A and B are shown apart, each in its own frame.
Chain A
Amino acid sequence: MRRKIVVLLIIIVCFLLQTTVFQALAFASISPNLLVVVVSAFGFMRGRKEGMWIGFFCGLLLDIFYGSRIGFYGLVYMYIGYLNGLFRKRFFPDDIKLPLILIAASDLACNLIVYLFQFFMRGRFQFGYYLLRIILPELVYTILVTVFLYFAILKINQKLERIEKRSARKFV
């Protein structure tokens, strides 16, 4: 229960930051994607199941407010969370390389899917332009933000796990 509330709070804060503050802090009209960091991080820290649910809810949130069709982002983020969960066994908190690679890959995948389904399908074929002007800048900006956001999420998760372990020991 405690974990659910904390995770919900993290999602809400990141969603609000992404849609308000970071839109104002955009460099060259590019802003980072915080929700993908949250989904991906919880995916590889906590496994497939949690990644999947968190992805589903983050995506649904985006769908309700900004999506043109409900369910699209839900689907994309859910799979991102699930696939990141497959890497849980290889994840060690001290190692920053794997999280960075996974988060970067997630952001890339997310944008490629959006491009494919919402731009390519409408006849916008200049993939090179969109790659250089939208996808890569967002990737760089997201990774920059990840360096801070990831450690915050990691610390919160470790704290939660400590509390859970302690209370489990008490009751068993």
Chain B
Amino acid sequence: MKVRRKPKSKLNLPTRYVLLILTGVCVLALFLSFTLNLNGGPLKTVAGYVFVPMQRGINTLGSWISDSVEGFQSKQELLAENEALQSRVDELTTELNTLRLEQYELDNLRELFELDQKYPSYEKVGARVISNDGGNWFSTFLIDKGENDGIEVDMNVIAGSGLVGIVVDVGPNYAKVRSIIDDTSSVSASTVTTADYCIVNGNLETMNEQQVIEFSNLNNEESAIEIGEQIVTSNISDKYLPGILIGYIQTLQQNANNLTCSGTITPAVDFEHLDEVLVILEKKQTAQE
């Protein structure tokens, strides 16, 4: 049964010691990544070139299958949807007309004040979500664009018109994005109408239960802010560009100090069905730069 061969020329350490050595290696790596912010280095490059193409392939196959499944949606459903959308189109057209008028007025006023456009249209690059964090604790995902496409750490990621998250790690052909619903994420934000600042925190629990995330420290002395208020990224955030929509206030409650409010926000982005995202190729300028 047992085949004894001559031990090879390699030195044969007992497993216990190898375990200790590897433990040391891991602890050292943890320590290094905490102090020096090293993250993988060459390992990342190798792993990126091996796994990312495969994940991309599986994903293309998966979206092809789900597309063709969706193709069989019943006619009734489509008709109902069409009707709903039609009424929505009407609604939006009216809204658009009002907005156009207001825009015209605004342009005139801006010309008068010789103001620049407040939010320049940022340069963006589209990317595809190729895989999700393997576990159930965090909400990070990989996109199929990386250093080679000009993506850097701390760039903002959006989908549609809402904020998705921020690039936290980048390899040659992939980048890791931490979404704003991740438990460890926090974003400095402000309300649109009153420009009061608040902090938006991702929360696994509220996200799982009600599809909302938390906000806190909102200054609401005159109770001017109501449910449904838009929350955007603030101009004092050090990593997020100002004026990107985060979501809408869902619940609102006064804190015990009677000065600030906290509550929950429904994100503007559908994180369940995130397929394509846009990366803004511009980073927030901070003072030291």
Which A residues are within 8 Å of any B CB, using their own CB? 12, 15-16, 18-21, 23-24, 28-31, 33, 35, 48-49, 52, 56, 60-66, 68-72, 74-75, 78, 82, 85, 111, 114-115, 118-119, 122, 124, 126, 129-130, 133-134, 137-138, 165, 168, 172
Contacts and interface: CB of A to CB of B under 8 A. Distances in A.
A65 B142 contact: yes
Contacts of A19: 55, 131-134, 142
10 contacts: A16-B55, A16-B58, A20-B130, A21-B62, A23-B132, A33-B135, A49-B15, A56-B22, A65-B47, A71-B33
Most B Cβ at <10 Å: residue of A69, A82, A165: A69
A9 to B, nearest CB: 12
A52 B22 contact: yes
A118 B182 CA distance: 12
B132 to A, nearest CB: 4
B44 interface: yes
Contacts of A133: 205, 208
A70 B134 contact: no
Given A65-B51, A71-B29, A119-B183, A15 B34 contact: no
Given A18-B134, A75-B26, A133-B205, 13 more contacts: A16-B55, A20-B130, A23-B131, A29-B272, A33-B134, A63-B40, A70-B32, A70-B39, A71-B28, A78-B23, A129-B205, A133-B208, A172-B5
A138 B134 contact: no
A16 B140 contact: no
Interface in B1-30: 3, 5, 15, 18-19, 22-23, 25-30
A79 to B, nearest CB: 8
B33 to A, nearest CB: 5
B62 A64 contact: no
A70 B15 contact: no
B209 to A, nearest CB: 8
User: Looking at chain A's contact residues, is the secondary structure mostly helix, strand, loop, or mixed?
Assistant: helix
Most A Cβ at <10 Å: residue of B18, B19, B183: B19
Nearest to B38: A70
Most A Cβ at <10 Å: residue of B38, B58, B135, B272: B135
Nearest to B13: A49
B216 interface: no
A71 B26 contact: yes
B134 A15 contact: yes
A78 B21 CA distance: 12
B105 to A, nearest CB: 45
B131 to A, nearest CB: 4
B138 interface: yes
Contact of B33 (A12, A65, A70, A111): A70
B131 A20 contact: yes
Nearest to A110: B135
B108 interface: no
B59 interface: yes
B51 A15 contact: yes
Contact of B18 (A12, A49, A66): A49
B40 A66 contact: no
A64 B135 contact: no
Contacts of A165: 3
Contact of A138 (B54, B131, B136): B136
Interface string B42-54: 0110010011001
Nearest to B132: A23
B134 A62 contact: yes
Contacts of A119: 137, 183, 204
Contact of A30 (B19, B136, B272): B136
